[in-house]
Structure 1
């Protein structure tokens, strides 16, 4: 993206952030998607951040995604995550959809007409990305999709879905295909509710999707989702999620420091205290570490892509897994420490001048969003394969 376009994108993100700040509390309270924020995102052009300019998009890259995700999370973490996961799905289409499907969908994404939701969870497989119990079946109308998903981020307001399916009734659960479905191709039924501790504004209710799609809407080839996941969905997801969590924690620290430096500072907090200084230092160091590692892994992924190389290498997979885990752990730890420093009235109470309790609840979900335990197990196995210990 050219400098002028990048500047315009950041200005657009700042405008969206203003809207998000105004409505983040209501979205959290009501456990509903922030409709004013989503409407502004559609108008802003940012839904097409990664879409090539020749298809009407902004032509941004992963570093642009990481930077703008932090700006949006400064306004509302839930909406930032909705947008980040949409961009993740857009990246999949850009790199793996057949040309006729790209020609049809990418201009719609660029115009803000197509918000993409990800359907990868299952009742029996949980959040395991590379397996699906629901098979595609051939019918006269096309490939039949019959899919239960317990969690679909922003699913009720989505215009289209990328859905993981077992490639056929006879295929094993790890032979997975990814299919695109327009909303008007699916019968969409809401399952359950979304009454959670945090990330309430994502309104990630369960959905049942059923309908037929043409075979041309299989993305990446029959049974080839593993490649799609390793080269696009997982790495872009980890970068984008980490950026959202970091943006939320940075916002929290900025607001806390601003209050501590103001006349409204509570008398119970002495900023000349060495204990207060030590606590602030540890909070800042955690965020510095996440920011530095996010920058480094973003550069690594970008360089490999520019060279036409695979992201499936052992060291790169370790770095991506590590990024997700440390971002989840350290951003939550930083906000936990902010709550401790701010105290009951300022840090823990709802309706406080600082929304620390909302950040605390939102970031608690980070370790559960594709569970850290699963990634740590995978990273331990990968470590045995990397005898040269190629550190990021």
Structure 2
């Protein structure tokens, strides 16, 4: 992105961050999407960050996504995650949708008219991207969609959905297709409430979707979702999630340091104490490690894409999995340490001047958002295949 446009985009992100910060507590308290925050995102043009300029978007890349995700999470982690996952879906459309479908959808995304939600989990799949028991059925009108999803981030606000389904009733569960559906093409029924420990502002209700879509709305090859996942959804998701978690933890540390340097500092915390200094150092080190690894893996993915190379290589997959697990563990650990350092009166209290309690609850979800356990198991198996040990 050219420097003048980039400055404008960062200014827009800063304005959105201000609105998100103003409404973050209410979204958390009421377990609902921040409507003022989403409205500001739609006005800002940031919903079209990854949309090419020829379709009216900002033409940003993954480095821009990572930077802006951190800014938005500084305001509200839940809304930042909604936006990040929308960008994940946008990238899949940009890279894999047929030209006619791109031409129809991407200008709407760029104008902030089309928020894309992801339907990739299903009952009994434990969030596994590459298996699904719900089949597509052909009809004279198109493809019949009948899909249960236990968790859909921001789904009640979405104008469109990208849905994974088994490619046909006779196909194996691993033969998955990705299908786009407009909300107008579906009957959408809310299935479960969203009353959770953290990330409450994502309002990730369960949904049941029923409808018929044209065959032209299959994204990528029929049965070829594995390629979309490896080249787009999984890598963009890991980069964007890690950036959101890092942005939230950075925000927490910035607020804590500001408090410790102010006259309002709790009397129980002696900033001249070596123990306090050591604890601050370990918190900062965790965030430095996440930030450094995030930018290194972002560069790796960007370079491979620029060269037209696949992201399915063993080492790259290990690096992406490692980024997600490391970011989830270290950002949560850093906020846990901040709570310990700040004590009951600041760190553990709701409505504290520094919202460590909310950050703590939000970041606890990071290890569960596509389970760290599953990624560690996959990385262990991949490690046996990478004899050269290509470290990031």
What is the TM-score of this pair, normalised by structure 1? 1.00
> Once the two structures are superposed, what CA deviation does each residue of 1:293-337 show, in whole Å capped at 9, x if it has no partner?
000000000000000000000000000000000000000000000
**Secondary structure of 1:138 counterpart:** strand
1:216 CA drift (Å): 0.3
Q: CA RMSD in A?
A: 0.4
3-state DSSP of counterpart to 2:347: helix
Aligned to 2:382: 382
Q: Separation in 1 of the partners of 2:351 and 2:291?
A: 29
Task: Specify the alignment match of 1:319 in structure 2.
Answer: 319
Q: CA deviation at 1:141?
A: 1.8
Shift of 1:126: 2.2
Any stretches of 5+ residues in structure 1 without a counterpart? Answer: none
Determine the C-alpha separation between the residues in 2 that align with 1:192 and 1:112: 27
* Structure 2 residue 237 is matched with structure 1 residue 237: yes
Are 1:137 and 2:140 an aligned pair?
Answer: no
Q: Which TM-score applies when normalising by structure 2?
A: 1.00
* Other-structure match for 1:265: 265
The total of aligned residue pairs comes to 392
The C-alpha deviation readout for 1:182-209, integer Å capped at 9, x for no partner, is 0000000000100000000000000000
User: Which residue matches 1:72?
Assistant: 72
The 3-state SS of whatever aligns with 2:177 is: strand
SS of the residue aligned with 2:354?
Answer: coil
Structure 1 segments of 4+ aligned residues over 4 angstroms from their partners:
none
1:308 corresponds to: 308
- Provide the C-alpha distance between the structure 1 equivalents of 2:118 and 2:331, rounded to a whole number of angstroms: 24
C-alpha distance in structure 2 between counterparts of 1:124 and 1:223, whole Å: 20
Distance in structure 2 (CA, Å) of the matches to 1:50 and 1:247: 20
Q: Does 1:177 align with 2:211?
A: no
Alignment map for 1:68-147 (pairs within 5 Å): 68-147=68-147
CA distance in 2, matches of 1:11, 1:29: 28
Instruction: Give the whole-Å Cα distance in 2 for the aligned partners of 1:4 and 1:163.
Output: 37
CA distance in 1, matches of 2:151, 2:190: 10
Query: How far off its partner does 1:29 sit?
Result: 0.2
Match of 2:227 in 1: 227
- Aligned-partner SS, 2:344: helix
Cα distance per residue 1:22-56 (max 9 Å; x no partner): 00000000000000000000000000000001110
Q: Which whole-Å deviations, capped at 9, do the CAs of 1:234-277 have from their partners, x for residues lacking one?
A: 00000000000000000000000000000100110000000000
Q: Give distance in 1, aligned partners of 2:375 and 2:286.
A: 20
Unaligned runs of 5+ in 2: none
Corresponding residue number in structure 1 for 2:328: 328
Give the whole-Å Cα distance in 1 for the aligned partners of 2:66 and 2:200: 22
**Number of the residue aligned with 2:12:** 12
Cross-structure match for 2:210: 210
